[in-house]
Amino acid sequence: PDSSSQSSQESQAKENLRHLLDLHEKEASEAYLVHSNPFHSECLEERCSVATWLAFVVHKLELKPYVLQTALYLLDKVIEVGLF
């Protein structure tokens, strides 16, 4: 391969690494962590069903992991305030 092609590949590799590092920082941030809240026992089974369904959708659509984490965080907030 010529030097311009190799330079282009290195540039793309650096951009991919930068993107992965950004995703890692987002997933490690407080906003994306799944918090352990004291759930009402009557909501736990439904929460597990919804979480399983969300995980399936995220997997099928090949979404980023923080999509599931964010959805579960929001679901936990809905349960916490009693709207579930």
Write out pLDDT tens, residues 21-67. 887 777 677 765 555 555 556 677 788 888 888 888 888 898 888 88
pLDDT score at 35: 55
Q: In this model, does residue 77 exceed pLDDT 70?
A: yes
Distance between CA atoms of residues 42 and 36, nearest Å? 16
Q: What amino acid is encoded at 71 in this protein?
A: A
Cα–Cα separations (whole angstroms), residue 53 to 19, 42, 50, 69, 71: 28, 18, 5, 13, 11
Q: In this model, does residue 78 exceed pLDDT 60?
A: yes
3-state SS assignment for residue 41: helix
pLDDT score at 32: 59
Residue 9 binned pLDDT confidence (cut-offs 50, 70, 90)? confident
